[in-house]
């Protein structure tokens, strides 16, 4: 059994979709991806990890046990995959091992990318999930945090020694596989499929489903929008319905503009962390696929650095107009039962409009 535990923003969405689309053909070759009626294992991961994910806690109850039952019925090689497994606490990891059975040859797979991309991607994910921190504040908190004990999501999900040490308590190093993706990400399926014992050609159906990044203008617009929505009391579940899906995923991710990168003064620190990750991976005796040098951030661009907290009014305006188009198109397609959400959005907008200094 291969348990792919993340990390977030390392092509996990792409890999999971490709596994799902090709599950029948992979099954003919003895590779099982037991999602059941669902497209992914998100609810099972929420259930196992105990994360209080807004709007999904009740829905997730029993999903891990259901996944375990499907897994036990499968023969051959089984693949489980979700990036939330990366933040599982040791007690939950022990539960996973016990539930999957002592006779199971369990392997753990972690996909990783360079720390510069992961830092900027993690900040953007926070904004998508209703966050409102500036990039400057996010980076300051990250640099000042203790990677092995911090409760910050970045360190919990991305710190390679921390994640793999937790899972290494139940899996020997020779069955832990670290896939270091090249900066182009071009070989992600090839690297992953060969790690789980499959030929890349066994999954011929490709997918364009990816958790796309935002540009600086889009990120700033979303951050400011989140701040205003919080002021009028918009709850997280409604935010997901009215902002995350129609605005972020369906609109802004399709129009990402000015790219986001680390400020030049952070590269020395980031290089040090990435080198520590690489040295630990080699010393731990785990199976490293790829080159640990690819964990290092790419050097700053020669044409200067763009502060993602100050992309310029035109970039923010264009992102806001794109977002407005996305909301209108979504409203036009929604059936009458969903109209209550539109009415709530209108009431929130009116309250916001009455606030001084809007």
Q: CATH no. for residue 82?
A: 3.40.50.300
Are 198 and 228 members of one domain?
Answer: no
Are 122 and 234 members of one domain?
Answer: no
Asked if the structure places residue 274 within a domain, the reply is no
Measured distance CA(117)–CA(349) in Å, rounded: 35
Asked if the structure places residue 278 within a domain, the reply is no
Residue 300 sits at φ, ψ, to 5 deg, of -60, 150
Are 160 and 237 members of one domain?
Answer: no
pLDDT in tens, the chain (358 residues): 999 999 999 999 999 999 999 999 999 999 999 998 888 999 999 999 999 998 899 999 999 999 999 999 999 999 999 999 999 999 999 999 999 988 899 999 999 999 999 999 999 999 999 999 999 999 999 999 999 999 999 999 999 999 999 999 999 999 999 999 998 777 899 999 999 999 999 999 998 877 778 999 999 999 999 999 999 999 998 898 889 988 998 888 877 777 899 999 999 999 999 999 999 999 999 999 999 999 999 987 777 899 999 999 999 999 999 899 888 888 888 775 555 556 666 665 566 556 554 4
Are 107 and 33 members of one domain?
Answer: yes
CB 191 within 8 A of CB 199: no
- Residue 352's pLDDT is 58
Please report where in the chains the tokens 């789980």 appear, as a residue.
196
Are 114 and 233 members of one domain?
Answer: no
Asked if the structure places residue 345 within a domain, the reply is yes
- Residue 356's pLDDT is 55
287: helix, coil or strand?
A: strand
Final residue in a domain of this structure, among 174, 202, 230: 202
Are 59 and 164 members of one domain?
Answer: yes
Asked if the structure places residue 305 within a domain, the reply is no
285: helix, coil or strand?
A: coil
Are 101 and 228 members of one domain?
Answer: no
Are 96 and 138 members of one domain?
Answer: yes
Asked if the structure places residue 36 within a domain, the reply is yes
Q: In which domain, by residue range, is 83 found?
A: 2-202
Please report where in the chains the tokens 């003064």 appear, as a residue.
265
Strand (E) positions, 102-175? 107-112
Q: Within the chain, how many helices (H) and strands (E) appear?
A: 16, 6
- Residue 241's pLDDT is 87
- Residue 187's pLDDT is 83
Task: Specify the pTM.
Answer: 0.90
Asked if the structure places residue 268 within a domain, the reply is no
Please report where in the chains the tokens 């992979």 appear, as a residue.
26
- Residue 70's pLDDT is 96
Number of domains present in the structure of the chain: 2
Asked if the structure places residue 58 within a domain, the reply is yes
Are 75 and 17 members of one domain?
Answer: yes
* β-sheet bridge partners, residue 79: 2
Asked if the structure places residue 290 within a domain, the reply is no
Are 223 and 197 members of one domain?
Answer: no
- Residue 165's pLDDT is 98
Are 141 and 100 members of one domain?
Answer: yes
Are 197 and 223 members of one domain?
Answer: no
**CA-based Rg of the chain, rounded to a whole angstrom?**
21
Measured distance CA(217)–CA(260) in Å, rounded: 10
- Residue 357's pLDDT is 47
């Amino acid at each position: 059994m291969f348990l792919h535990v993340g990390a977030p923003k390392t092509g996990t969405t792409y890999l999971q979709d490709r596994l799902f689309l090709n599950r029948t053909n992979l099954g003919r070759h003895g590779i099982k991806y037991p999602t059941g009626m669902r497209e992914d294992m998100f609810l099972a991961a929420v259930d196992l990890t105990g994360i209080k994910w807004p709007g999904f806690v009740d829905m997730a109850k029993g999903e891990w046990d259901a996944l375990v039952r499907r897994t036990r019925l499968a023969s051959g090689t089984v693949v489980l995959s979700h990036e939330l497994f990366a933040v599982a606490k040791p007690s939950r990891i022990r539960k996973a091992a016990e539930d999957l059975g002592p006779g199971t040859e369990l392997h753990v797979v972690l996909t990783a990318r360079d720390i510069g991309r992961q830092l900027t991607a993690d900040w953007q994910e926070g904004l998508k999930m209703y966050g409102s921190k500036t990039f400057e504040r996010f980076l300051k908190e990250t640099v000042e945090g203790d990677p092995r004990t911090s409760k910050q999501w970045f360190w919990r999900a991305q710190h390679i020694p921390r994640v793999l040490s937790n899972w290494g308590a139940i899996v020997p190093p020779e069955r832990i596989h670290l896939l270091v993706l090249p900066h182009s990400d071009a070989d992600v399926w090839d690297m992953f499929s060969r790690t789980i014992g499959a030929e890349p050609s066994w999954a011929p159906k490709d997918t364009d489903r990816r958790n796309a990044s935002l540009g600086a203008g889009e990120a700033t617009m979303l951050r400011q929008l989140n701040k205003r929505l919080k002021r009028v009391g918009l709850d997280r579940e409604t935010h997901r319905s009215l902002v995350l899906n129609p605005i972020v995923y369906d609109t802004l991710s399709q129009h990402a503009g000015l790219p986001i990168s680390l400020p030049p003064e952070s590269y020395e620190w980031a290089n040090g962390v990435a080198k520590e990750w690489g040295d630990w991976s080699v010393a731990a005796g785990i199976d490293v696929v790829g080159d640990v040098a690819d964990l290092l951030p790419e050097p700053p661009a020669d044409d200067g650095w763009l502060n993602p907290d100050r992309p310029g009014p035109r970039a923010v305006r264009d992102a806001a107009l794109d977002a407005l188009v996305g909301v209108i198109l979504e409203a036009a397609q929604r059936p009458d039962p969903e109209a209550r959400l539109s009415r709530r959005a209108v009431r929130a907008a009116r309250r916001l409009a009455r606030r001084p200094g809007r």
